[in-house]
Structure 1
Amino acid sequence: MKIIGLAGWSGAGKTTLLNKLIPHLIGVGVSVSTIKHAHHGFDVDIPGKDSWQHRQAGATEVLVASGKRWALMRELRGESEWSLPDLLDKLTPVDLVIVEGFKRSGHPKIEVHRAENGKPYLWPDDRDILGIAGDAPTGSGAPPCVALDAIGAVADMMLAAALPIDTVRARLAQRAKNPE
């Protein structure tokens, strides 16, 4: 299993790009899973439904299953937010895990940048950004850049920059011991 992230400011188009990349990657034979970081509380089930009532009643985990899918929800109930390595442990192995968000984590990333956002690039301050998918010139010293709408080129960049899960785990563990 290899890991690559998409990082960028809100509104840069990470989710839109990811929604185009997933079918492209699957089409070239790459199995894909994703991890999405949310900066706020969120709900994946519907208030009033049984699973929601189970969580509201205090269940730590609620697993909902049907003939088409299953989902496991875990309430942290005061526990610290889980780290990226902890979350990776929960996934069934695939060829590529794409992490959307977790931009301050030390995994390899492709920056998604849209000029109209008016935000600066992340790459000068993040050594884990190994490429850029953008719509504007990056300046000297920037990592390789491809057009935001060049899905095949972005996919190729992601596959080239992705690192094996064990390498990412070791890197994150080392950084946890020796923060910069």
Structure 2
Amino acid sequence: MTMIPLVGFIGWHNSGKTTLASKVVKHLTTRGLAVGVIKSTKDIGIASDTPGTDTHTYAMAGAAGVALAAPDQLVVRTAKPDLNLHVLAGIYFSSMDIVIVEGFKHTSPVPKIEVHRQGNDFLYSQVDNVIALVGDAQVQGILHFDADQSEELATMIEERFCKQNPKITNQCRVTLAGKEVELPPALEQAILQSLFGWAQANDLMWQEEKTHINIEVS
């Protein structure tokens, strides 16, 4: 079972991780990859819609979730979902080749790139799965990049996580009213990504090439 690859950028505040990650996203998209981004923040009360707009009116009326479907974009506002990163990626970014994650430094299964600024403590000794370090200092045993090597970093990410990571296709068989139906690829990807992300988060991962999942709806 192959899930959409997630690669995290971590670092202390003002370390430059957003600037570097955005450059990497630009390099990857220029190469034809579809890239999603999930960013964490400690801030609360961030304005997601403007007072006086229809979406704000619905939100103030108590709607638990509001979506705005426009010709050029879809904007969704909900309460914070209690979902792990792989499930979030499956639901919202099922059509992506890779998802770049900023923050979430204590999420163990996600490979991470630490962006380090001189004078700050290192994170690689405090969190799991740091695969590369960006900054002036070099650490034995950890891949190193300078801050101006965003293109080289993008190449490493593409080679390691995209080229050998085909997306989930044609693995989900669904029967409705006794008839087998074929799901749209994006829906199939979202279902499988979410199921396996949830299973991974709950230590229920399995190794068999084929897994049978029965769901009964009444």
TM over 0.5: yes
Tell whether the 8 Å contact from 2:84 to 2:201 is kept in structure 1 after alignment. Answer: no
Counterpart CA distance in 1 for 2:200 and 2:152 is 27
Which amino acid in the other structure matches residue 23 of structure 1? K
Question: 1:112-163: CA deviations, max 9, x gaps?
Answer: 1121xx32111122231111122x123334x111111111111123334548
Q: Name the SS of the counterpart of 2:75 in structure 1.
A: strand
Match of 2:75?
71
Which of 1 and 2 has greater Rg? 2
Equivalent pair of 1:133/1:154 in contact (CA under 8 Å): no
- Aligned twin of 2:147: 148
Q: Structure 1 regions of 5+ residues with no counterpart?
A: 176-180
Which residue does 1:178 correspond to in 2? none
- Measure the CA separation in 1 of the matches of 2:31 and 2:87: 29
Identical-residue share of aligned pairs (%): 29
Paired residues of 1:5 and 1:108 also in contact (CA < 8 A): yes
Do the aligned residues in 1 keep the contact of 2:28 with 2:158 (CA within 8 Å)? no
- Are the structure 2 counterparts of residues 11 and 65 from structure 1 closer, same or farther at C-alpha, using a change threshold of 3 Å? same
Select between 54-63 and 38-47 the one with higher mean Cα deviation. 38-47
Q: Which has the higher helix share?
A: 1
1:33 to 28, 31, 36: 36
Q: CA RMSD in A?
A: 2.4
| 1:20 partner letter | K
Q: 1:162 to 1:32 in 2, by over 3 A?
A: same
What is the TM-score normalised by the length of structure 1? 0.81
CA–CA separation in structure 1 for the residues paired with 2:121 and 2:86: 28
Give deviations 1:93-123, integer Å, cap 9, x for gaps: 21110011111111111111121xx321111
Aligned position for 1:57: 61
For residues 158 and 202 of structure 2, what CA distance do their matches in structure 1 show? 23
The aligned counterpart of 2:106 is: 104
1:19 aligns with: 22
CA contact (8 A) 2:106 2:128 kept: no
Letter in 2 for 1:103: K
Higher RCO, 1 or 2 (CA under 8 Å, sep at least 6)? Answer: 1
- Provide structure 2 residue ranges, at least 5 long, that are not aligned to the other structure: 168-192, 205-218
Structure 2: how far apart are the matches of 1:172 and 1:111? 23
Q: Deviations over 1:53-109 (max 9, x none)?
A: 211211011001111111111124xxx743323322222321110011111111111
- The 1:162–1:132 alpha-carbon spacing in structure 2 relative to 1, beyond 3 Å, is farther
